[in-house]
Amino acid sequence: MDLDTSSIPELTAEELRQLYKLLIATRDLDVAAVAWQRQGILPGYAPELGQEAAQVGSAFALDTSRDFAFPTYREMGVALSLGVDMVEYMSTHKASWHGGLYNPVSTRLAPIQAVVGGSVLHAVGWAHGQRLAAGAGSAEAGLPAAITYFGDGASSQGDVHEAMNFAGVLKAPVVFFVQNNGWAISLPTEEQVAGGTVAARAAGYGMASVTVDGNDAPAVVRATRAALEHARAGNGPVLIEAMTYRRGPHSTSDDPGRYRTLDEERRDGGEDPVARLAALLLETGAADQPFIDDAAAEAKAHTDTVREGIQALQPRPGQEMFDFVFAEPTNALKAQAHAWREESEHV
């Protein structure tokens, strides 16, 4: 079933301006983070160049008073749009902490998930739990909804199929947000997604789906708002496939030149999402050039502040690796913690 988005109103001029500020801030920080890795400030980073509209647009649609987002390792734009402290977010990429130092409960962003497809399972479990906790008649009042992110490559993982099946059967209020960026690391989408599109799979799980231009930020906002409304009303999950393009490497350890040429990147990359929204603002009169220039300056200032914060991060106490495994530590874990203290702290 194709999701109907026609009832969702167009974004206001103020919303478009807010969206652009988030978009340019994401672009500036993302480009800088790649440079920081090359400079040795970050051990590793997963760039999102070209995918900013998909990430910012989807996060922009969330209601952080009740919804919850479940990211992978590439959703920096989602985190920034939700107001997460970027130094605390980047602590994982700095290898100072695993999953981010930010508070998931207050930010409504689950910890960064490095397991491919792992966040999808968590989102379905959380969404089903919200439905159970709300009880009968909860859909009329509007259920809290989860949104979970993954790529076209991750869509082939068994965990994703199991999660979508459970969500469909249980009518869990969850939005599966697929960023189809054309590549599963080095493998093009057409060589690993049977059936042509990820969205086509939704019908097999009894859920609605919508395919959206992932480089069109306002369109992504409207599609996500429609999906969230559908899920909150108790109609079950929705799969959104945002068609975009990964303009850079899969990660800073990847060399895309080994599997595609620069000419192919220029041909397939599509319209730049940041420039596209800037053009829309100017054409519609929602903003003028000074606004565009000021947003770029604000983005750069924010990036500089984040860099200072990242460089000031210190290693976390080693004991924490044992403190946050189980609510009630097992005897084996206690023994490991004791051995570690003897060897490293000479206790």
The catalytic residue among 250, 276, 302, 307 is 250
Average pLDDT of span 75-83: 98
Distances 331 to 45, 327, 335 between C-alpha atoms, Å: 36, 13, 6
> Which domains does the chain possess?
13-316 (3.40.50.970), 318-347 (no CATH)
Please report the DSSP string for 102-116 in residue order: S-HHHHTBPPP--ST
- Residue 234 clears pLDDT 80, i.e. is over it: yes
Asked if residue 160 lies in contact with residue 154, where contact means CB atoms within 8 angstroms, the answer is: yes
3-state secondary structure of 180: strand
Confidence band for 141, pLDDT divided at 50, 70 and 90: low
- Residue 212 clears pLDDT 90, i.e. is over it: yes
Distances 94 to 9, 74, 134, 197, 213 between C-alpha atoms, Å: 41, 14, 39, 35, 33
The catalytic residue among 93, 122, 225, 246 is 246
263 C-beta neighbours (distance < 10 Å), count: 8
CA–CA gap between residue 200 and residue 211 (Å, rounded): 9
Q: What pairing do the DSSP bridges indicate for beta strands 187-188 and 183-184?
A: antiparallel
- Residue 325 clears pLDDT 80, i.e. is over it: yes
**pLDDT tens-digit readout, 276-319:** 999 999 999 999 999 999 999 999 999 999 999 999 998 888 88
What pLDDT sits at residue 138?
Answer: 59
pTM confidence score: 0.92
- The verdict on whether 246 is a catalytic residue reads yes
Token readout for 109 is: 């962003």
The catalytic residue among 259, 260, 316, 341 is 259
- The verdict on whether 232 is a catalytic residue reads no
Tally of residues, the chain: 347
